[in-house]
Structure 1
Amino acid sequence: MVTIEDVKKAQRNIRGTAERTPLIFSESLSEKTGAEIYLKLDTLQPTGSFKIRGAANAVARLSEEERKNGVVTASTGNFGRALSYAGKQAGVPVTVCLSRLVPQNKVEAVRELGATVEICGNTQDEAMARAAGLVETQQMKIISPFDDADVIAGQGTIGLEILEDLPETDMAVIALSGGGLIAGIALALRHEKPDIGVTGVSTRQCPAMYESLKAGHPVDVPEHESVADSLGGGIGLENRYSFAMVRDLVGAENIVLLAEDEIKNGMCALHEAENIVAEGGGAVGVAALLAGKIKSEDIQGKKIVCHISGGNVAEDVFAKIVAA
């Protein structure tokens, strides 16, 4: 189980590797939605996404033997980049398994940080199976991008920062894939404000956590290509942490799903309103509000924080979306 004390320890562990990112008010998005919209900008992290928080905490918590043997993960790109960065700073060898769905710009970003990269399979789950194999053959420690206690605690530092900057926050709108991000944030937020609203946003292309919550247990779902590529992949049938935490702290009734055009609209709106370059997964919070996915009475006049989780989108892809 992950506790609030774990999150507070993580806040200390990640200093010097991850940044404390700003929370800004968006007048333009507030006018469009009728709410007071604030944006938590983890696009400004050294590796371009929030993932550095969990990766830095996980690396900080390694034993000496684990540091020597190295670590392995499977990633849709952003966690692989973050773990490579944190590992390089700490002198820890990193291997990253990526599926063929991962965009080339994210593959190259991982390689540039000195990690060993393996391209394997057509889905995130297949890449994770390869990572598990390396644990058996090379005694590496596997670090899940979302279902790891140290990673979840690291992501929870976002929640601490939100309430430090805006204690009167009424709701946080958070991207949802494997659940590590929203689990950590919800833990931190609800410890201080038990009644705070927390909404998760997934893509219809791979709503693994949503379907698992509806089923009452982790299930596999088909994974399809999405502009929100960072939200791909399953939650693991042997899920240890994130499923139960999202079930207990968020619930299926507080998860919304977006179509591809709705996600692109969120990317465009962020760029137009605040000149922010957000990848698809980073824009889903704003996209959900603009698409009317959250009840009007739940947001009107309320202070709503949208977590902008990442900005690692290829320039040509982003240019095509905002020009459409």
Structure 2
Amino acid sequence: MATLNPAILPAVSAVRDAAQRLRSFLPPSRLVRSHALSDAIGVEVWFKLELENPTGSFKVRGAYNVLAGLSDAERARGVVASSAGNHGLGVAYAAKAFKTPAMLYVPSNAPQVKKDGIRALGAIVNDEAPDYDAAMVVAKAHAAREGIRYINPCLGLDLLAGQGTVALEVLEQLPSVQTIMICTGGGGLLGGMGAVLRALAPTVRVVGVQTVETAAMSTSVQAGHVVDWPSTPTLADGLAGQIDDDALHIGQGVRRRAAGRLRRGTRRNDRVAAAHRRHGGRGRWRGHRGGAASRSSQGAVGATRGGRERTQHRSPATRYLVGAASGLIARTAGE
């Protein structure tokens, strides 16, 4: 097995501590079977309904755990973060719970519904940066200048421990799970969940999913070093952006683990949108808050359909795929 840097990925004990902190703040999200997708691709497909969290994605888990771990003095000084939207909503929501000032830097093209949501929670929003990577640069500079905590959307032991609580819940809700598909982006959810699954369920197959337009991680893992990745308009805006060396380490660790792989981006925007219309756009479950929470999980749905032939060899009792993502839910009106 690959050696994972303990300075980057949390210990299971830290994830359990995060789960304890979250218990009174955030109930476990539901795990539901998608009859439509299960019938369509011939394997049992379950979805973790992270869209039912207060901000519509898993991001609030890590943000809350970060704020919970700060001292009163640190919280009083405030926090700063950069975000494509969902992380910003999570930070703003957690900051409001702790009565902590929060400054969010988001790209100018971030969905207006996300920017409005962040402001409605009491945080200050700066949307002058042309893309996410530029927003991150100014956010880090702000934190250094003011001497306050910068909350990275994808890195930090306390942040990843919060995201890893998703895996603890999945293992409790579906002990026989065989494959978990995780939206990748900068690797925060992948790293947090991967750390838990590696320790507690090493036979579970972990598949990191990206679209063609957001394949910074898979491209860099294949190259063996960080590859510059352009910021282009994409339906999966929550997965867009560059990665750094620490994020690359997360991706490499997942790819090298015995039961893990990183699925290279094979879904274009049009195919992602088509999958959303087929399996998430009908029935009761749709992208939350005008699509704010649906972006990353659309890639998971597309990869599930495209990966049919690679999962059919499993026995019927153990063919489970869990889309652990922020929230495209394939549930028909009849369910």
User: Which amino acid in 1 is paired with 2:136?
Assistant: M
- Indicate conservation of the 8 Å contact 1:171/1:196, yes or no: yes
In the alignment, the residues of structure 2 paired with residue 277 and residue 228 of structure 1 have an alpha-carbon distance, to the nearest angstrom, of 15
Which one of the candidate residues 248, 252, 260 is aligned to 1:247? 252
1:287 counterpart = 2:292? no
Find the partner of 1:116 among 124, 149, 167. Answer: 124
* In 1, Cα distance between equivalents of 2:78 and 2:262: 38
Look up the SS of the partner of 2:154 in the other structure.
coil
Aligned to 2:13: 5
Residues 171 and 80 (structure 1), Cα distance of their counterparts in 2 relative to 1, 3 Å cut: same
Unmatched 5+ stretches in structure 1: 312-324
Deviation digits for residues 72-127 of structure 1, max 9, x if unmatched? 01000000011000000001111000011211111111111110111132221100
Distance 1:294 1:60, change over 3 A: farther
Q: Percent identity?
A: 31
Indicate how the Cα distance of structure 1 residues 299 and 71 shifts in structure 2: closer, same or farther if over 3 A, else same: farther
Q: Give me the whole-angstrom Cα distance separating, in 1, the residues matched to 2:285 and 2:221.
A: 32
1:54 and 1:213 map into 2 onto residues whose CA distance is 24
Q: Could you say which residue in structure 2 is the equivalent of 1:147?
A: 155
1:267 alignment partner in structure 2 = 276
Distance 1:303 1:310 in 2: 18
2:253 partner letter:
D
- Deviating beyond 3 angstroms after TM superposition, the runs of 4 or more aligned structure 1 residues are 250-253, 291-294, 296-301
- Judged with a 3 Å threshold, the aligned counterparts in structure 2 of structure 1 residues 88 and 36 are, in CA distance, closer, same or farther, namely same
Contact residue 99 and residue 122 of structure 1 kept, 8 A: yes
CA contact (8 A) 2:254 2:262 kept: no
Give the stretch that moved more between structures: 56-65 or 213-222.
Answer: 213-222
Change (3 A) 1:6 1:188: same
Match of 2:332 in 1: none
Aligned to 1:212: 220
1:159 and 2:167 equivalent?
A: yes
User: Aligned pair in 2 of structure 1 residues 204, 32: CA closer, same or farther (>3 Å)?
Assistant: same
Distance 1:97 1:294, change over 3 A: farther
* Shift of residue 23, structure 1, vs aligned partner: 0.5
User: Is the partner of 1:191 in helix, strand or coil?
Assistant: helix
Scaled by the length of structure 1, the TM-score of the pair is: 0.90
In the alignment, which of 29, 32, 52 is matched to residue 24 of structure 1?
32
| 1:193 has 2:201 as partner | yes
RMSD, aligned CA: 2.0
Instruction: For structure 2, list consecutive stretches of 5 or more residues without a partner in the other structure.
Output: 1-5, 288-293, 329-335
* Cα pair 1:35 1:300 within 8 Å, conserved: no
Structure 2 contact 214–236 (Cα < 8 Å) conserved: no
In 2, Cα distance between equivalents of 1:130 and 1:121? 8
Segment drifting more, 151-160 vs 248-257: 248-257
Say whether the 8 Å CA contact 1:199–1:254 is kept in structure 2.
yes
Aligned to 2:240: 232
Asked if residue 44 in structure 1 is aligned to residue 52 in structure 2, the reply is yes
TM score, norm. by length of structure 2: 0.87
Distance (Å, rounded) in 1 between the aligned partners of 2:272 and 2:315: 22
For residues 204-238 of structure 1, what are the alpha-carbon distances to aligned partners after superposition, in whole Å with 9 as ceiling and x for unaligned? Answer: 112111122122222321011111111111123xx
Counterparts of residues 30-179 of structure 1 (less than 5 Å): 30-179=38-187
Residues paired across the two proteins, number: 309
Conserved 8 A contact 1:71-1:95: yes
Secondary structure at 1:120's aligned position in 2?
A: strand
Tell whether the 8 Å contact from 2:160 to 2:189 is kept in structure 1 after alignment: yes
Shift of 1:270: 3.0
What is the rounded CA distance, in whole Å, between the counterparts of 2:28 and 2:220 in structure 1? 32
Q: Secondary structure at the match of 2:103?
A: strand
Once the two structures are overlaid, the 10-residue window that deviates more, 23-32 or 261-270, is 261-270
Please tell me whether the aligned partners of residues 199 and 256 of structure 1 are also in contact (alpha carbons under 8 angstroms). no
